[in-house]
């Protein structure tokens, strides 16, 4: 914002701006003046010095732009919607794959008829089916909009392959089959610039509070709210991301009523509203739903409705978005930081399908997150989550994120993959009876903080 426009706004509000400071006024100054209990009568050098000294350690200027978001849609779906949905997935991931050197000359599957045996070919398609042969290798049926072909894969490659994922294959033709030399996945680029901010500002990640449950750790939430308002450390926080399951919900599973402290879902959300109202309004707050929240279970999930949590919609610094969603933050002074948010409902089915993930991803969810990024999709296998075939596949990871945050597992985990900060945001709920039966130990009370200036992640324990 230009100094002239700032002077005009202050003057119209009844403030006298002295000429010696008029040209030096910044958007940060204006933002802090707006937050004062009353508009100052005079803005001079002494006033500005006090204002800036008082706020020198506080992040006062933030910015947030929604890049990818599903606003909602509940109309009935038919077969044609599913066909269009999967065609959209193939089209968009194919564009990513075509940037790979191995697939520069990829052809449509129909064109394979023009080739004889023992010729080098490459194709891109979606896995329709697969089965293991008696020799331990895999036969895979790959299809695109022009046709279908069979692929022969080695045992390890076949084990990692998922139905409905989009891949590239380079190999040699045989009799009505391709002998694969390499599976090419869309994956992230090997090298790319790491985006940072000029100033030290932090983004905080929180998930799976489950307000309303008898196991919700209210004392942890009280400590967190106090930390936001009183801690010197929190003065550099500019962004808070809440990655789903704010409440326990009602009727999510048999016998849930016995595990509820608050049975009215609207009163559950009132608890969350009260927490948010304690957070300083200089902090931008992004909220997405999860599988316990009061929205449809099928993904993409629309934002939590306004009539369910009206006090959140009344706050200018709260952004109620879909699951998944992508936002660009702190771009007012340079390149923005891209943050991909996904609650993670597909993770259960995804992990269960792959032996290596079953062995470690429940305790260290970043392994599943890396796999999502390699496949450039948040639910590559149909059936790993409930799916709504909207006008496009909102689960495709088109743009490479700088930060990828997930919830759902209740396991706290941070890692880095090819320059992307990976955050599994843990929980604010103690171990439930179901988790005890499953032998799953949650990690409550741990908060991830990403320094956007260095992209380092630290852990705050409550």
Q: What are phi and psi of 347, to 5 degrees?
A: -65, -35
DSSP-derived secondary structure letter, 82: H
Task: For 339, list phi and psi in degrees, rounded to 5.
Answer: -115, 120
Give me the mean pLDDT over the 430-438 stretch. 81
Those residues with Cβ within 8 angstroms of residue 324's Cβ, 6 or more apart along the chain or in another chain: 68, 288, 299, 300, 340, 341, 342, 343, 378, 394, 395
The per-residue pLDDT for 205 is: 98
* 12 vs 379: which has the higher pLDDT: 379
Domain 101-184 fold is OB fold (Dihydrolipoamide Acetyltransferase, E2P) (2.40.50)
Angle at 449 between CA 327 and CA 217, to 5 degrees: 100
Question: How much is the mean pLDDT over the chain?
Answer: 91
What percent of the chain has pLDDT above 90?
A: 70
Helical axes 45-54 vs 27-34, angle rounded to 10°: 80
Supply 65's token pair: 């732009």
Residue 56 has pLDDT above 60, yes or no: no
Helix, coil or strand: residue 421: strand
- 100: pLDDT strictly greater than 60: yes
pLDDT band at 311 (very low <50, low <70, confident <90, very high): very high
Between 93 and 5, residue with greater pLDDT: 93
pLDDT at 4 over 80: yes
Could you give the CA distance from residue 141 to residue 126 in angstroms, rounded to a whole number?
A: 8
Residue 55: pLDDT band with limits 50, 70, 90:
low
Yes or no: say if 33 and 257 are a contact pair by the CB < 8 Å rule. no
| Confidence band of 424 (pLDDT split at 50, 70, 90) | very high
Where b means 16+ CB within 10 Å and e means fewer, 329-345 reads bbeeeeebbbbbbbbbb
pLDDT at 52 over 80: no
**Quick one: pLDDT band at residue 26, thresholds 50, 70, 90?**
confident
pLDDT at 168: 96
Residue 118 Cα distances to 140, 148, 177, 322, angstroms: 19, 19, 10, 49
How is residue 281 written in tokens?
Answer: 């309004």
**Mean pLDDT confidence for 441-461:** 94
Cα 96 from chain centroid?
20
Specify the fold of 64-75+190-461.
Purple Acid Phosphatase; chain A, domain 2 (3.60.21)
pLDDT for the residue numbered 1 = 61
Mean pLDDT, residues 16-24 taken together: 88
Strand pairing partners for 127? Answer: 142
Looking at the chain, the domain(s) classified CATH 3.60.21.50 span: 64-75+190-461
| Predicted confidence (pLDDT) per residue in 201-256, tens digit | 999 999 999 999 999 999 999 999 999 998 989 999 999 999 999 999 886 777 77
Residues of the chain with CATH 2.40.50.140: 101-184
**Which tokens is 129 given?**
């089916």
- The string of pLDDT tens digits covering residues 330-369 is 998 789 999 999 999 999 999 999 999 999 999 999 999 9
Q: How much is the average pLDDT of 394-423?
A: 96
Mean per-residue pLDDT for 177-181?
Answer: 95
The secondary structure of 295-338 as a DSSP string is S-SSBSBPPPPTTTSHHHHT-TTEEE--BSEEEEES-TTSSPEE
What is the predicted pLDDT for the residue at 284?
Answer: 97
Predicted confidence at residue 417, as pLDDT, reads 96
pLDDT at 323 over 90: yes
Question: Residue 3 corresponds to which tokens in the numbers above?
Answer: 């100094």
pLDDT at 112 over 80: yes
């Amino acid at each position: 914002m230009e100094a002239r426009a700032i002077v005009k706004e202050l003057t119209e509000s009844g403030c006298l701006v002295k000429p010696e400071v008029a040209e030096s006024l910044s958007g940060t100054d204006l933002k802090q003046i707006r937050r004062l209990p009353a508009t100052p009568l005079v803005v001079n050098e002494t006033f500005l010095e006090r204002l800036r000294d008082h706020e020198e350690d506080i992040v006062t200027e933030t910015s947030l732009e929604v890049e990818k978001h599903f606003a909602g849609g509940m109309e009935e779906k038919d077969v044609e919607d599913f066909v269009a949905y999967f065609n959209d997935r193939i089209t968009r991931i194919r564009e990513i794959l075509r940037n790979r050197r191995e697939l520069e000359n990829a052809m449509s599957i129909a064109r394979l008829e023009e080739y004889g045996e023992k010729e080098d070919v490459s194709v891109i398609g979606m896995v329709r089916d697969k089965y293991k042969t008696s020799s331990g290798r895999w036969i895979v049926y790959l299809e695109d909009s022009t046709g279908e072909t069979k692929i022969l894969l080695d045992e390890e490659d076949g084990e990692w392959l998922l139905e409905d994922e989009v891949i590239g294959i380079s190999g040699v033709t045989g009799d009505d089959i391709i002998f694969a030399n390499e599976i090419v996945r869309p994956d992230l680029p090997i090298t790319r610039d790491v985006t940072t901010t000029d100033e030290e500002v932090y983004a905080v990640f929180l998930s799976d509070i489950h307000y309303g449950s008898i196991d919700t750790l209210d004392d942890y939430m009280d400590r967190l709210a106090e930390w936001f308002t009183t801690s010197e450390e929190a003065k550099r926080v500019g962004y808070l991301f809440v990655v789903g399951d704010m409440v326990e919900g009602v009727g999510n599973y048999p016998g849930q009523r016995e595990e509820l402290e608050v049975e009215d879902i609207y009163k559950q959300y009132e608890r969350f509203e009260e927490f948010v109202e304690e957070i300083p309004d200089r902090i931008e707050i992004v909220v997405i739903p999860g599988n316990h929240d009061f929205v449809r279970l099928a993904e993409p999930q629309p934002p939590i409705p306004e009539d369910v949590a009206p006090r959140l919609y009344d706050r200018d610094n709260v952004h109620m978005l879909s699951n998944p969603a992508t936002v660009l933050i702190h771009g007012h002074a340079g390149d923005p930081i891209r943050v991909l948010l996904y609650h993670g409902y597909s993770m259960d089915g995804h992990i269960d399908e792959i032996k290596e993930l079953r062995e470690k991803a429940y305790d260290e969810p970043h392994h599943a997150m890396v796999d999502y990024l390699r496949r450039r999709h948040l639910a590559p296998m149909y059936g790993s989550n409930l799916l709504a075939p909207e006008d496009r596949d909102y689960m495709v990871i088109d743009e490479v994120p700088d930060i990828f945050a997930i919830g759902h597992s209740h396991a706290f985990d941070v890692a880095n993959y090819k320059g992307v900060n990976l955050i599994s945001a843990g929980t604010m709920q103690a171990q439930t009876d179901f988790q005890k039966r499953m032998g799953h130990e949650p990690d409550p009370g741990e908060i991830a903080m990403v320094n956007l200036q260095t992209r380092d992640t630290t852990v705050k324990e409550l």
